[in-house]
């Protein structure tokens, strides 16, 4: 089973930049989209239907802002939207899909903003989502949580850690939350399969032509339950795929070894 996570920085914009052609060529089973900035009624025709995908949405209440969606070629047993907390659910940040072997959480973590004005909100979101993950683990479920975490975990995960030590996205209190997630039975799959390899990023500023110079940040992740790691066949970042300031990240899961 192939899963993709991708912050598309506006799905309507991505559709104008070749998104459907990419989808037709890649043919993942599940696409987890973040920052869709659209509601279903704004995407007349749903062009992915011709490729065999059904869309499930959790848009933000505020038009043109945030929002997540799932494009599903392999139908789940059930899909649930949100965390049950109005503070976060108004921004359309979570979709939960139940599959026979695991629960998938498509998540768009808040940005702390340049002025750090939303760091506290961001950290509350980390805590609320972790509560859900802990409940799923307590029920014996294996979990895949993916999306734009808006945090680079370690110095290896961004090109210029020293210059960004005081920048939201690399603050100690933000990075500590990823450590907490990993201490709760989760594994950062890309880093587990590519330990110590620098230069792998998923987001680049569009202001300074950073992508051409690979001056980026790894903000987009797949975390999986430790018990699911034996089923992982591949975890790859796809930096050559254009259409957003983020690139897609791939997870391939097969039968457990």
Active site residues: 148
Helix (H) / strand (E) element for 22: namely helix 19-26
Cα 37 from chain centre = 15
Those residues whose C-beta lies under 8 Å from the C-beta of residue 158, and which sit 6 or more positions away, are: 152, 164, 170, 201, 216, 217, 218
Q: 219 near 158, Cβ under 8 Å?
A: no
For the record, the structure tokens of 117 come out as 């004005």
Q: Which residues pair with 163 in a beta bridge?
A: none
Ramachandran quadrant class, 225 (left: phi over 0; alpha: psi -120 to 50; beta: rest)? beta
Place of tokens 């989502």: 129
């Amino acid at each position: 089973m192939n899963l993709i996570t991708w912050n598309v920085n506006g799905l309507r914009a991505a559709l104008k930049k070749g998104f459907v052609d990419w989808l037709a060529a890649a043919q993942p089973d599940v696409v987890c989209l973040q920052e869709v900035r659209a509601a279903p009624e704004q995407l007349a025709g749903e062009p992915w239907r011709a490729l065999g995908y059904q869309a499930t949405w959790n848009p933000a209440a505020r038009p043109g802002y945030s929002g997540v969606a799932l494009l599903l070629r392999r139908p789940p047993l059930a899909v649930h939207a949100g965390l049950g907390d109005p503070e976060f659910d108004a921004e359309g940040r979570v979709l939960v899909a139940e599959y026979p072997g695991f629960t998938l959480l498509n998540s768009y973590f808040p940005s702390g903003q340049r002025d750090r004005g939303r760091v506290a909100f961001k950290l509350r979101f980390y805590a609320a989502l972790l509560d859900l993950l802990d409940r799923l683990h307590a029920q014996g479920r294996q979990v895949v949580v993916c999306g734009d975490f808006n945090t680079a975990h370690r110095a290896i995960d961004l090109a210029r850690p020293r210059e960004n030590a005081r920048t939201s996205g690399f603050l100690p209190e933000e990075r500590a939350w990823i450590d907490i997630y990993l201490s709760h039975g989760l594994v950062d799959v890309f880093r587990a399969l590519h330990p110590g390899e620098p230069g792998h990023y998923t987001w680049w500023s569009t202001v300074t032509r950073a992508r051409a110079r690979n001056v980026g940040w790894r903000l987009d992740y797949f975390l999986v339950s430790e018990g699911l790691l034996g089923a992982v066949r591949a975890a790859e970042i796809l930096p050559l795929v254009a259409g957003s300031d983020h690139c897609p990240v791939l997870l391939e899961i097969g039968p457990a070894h």
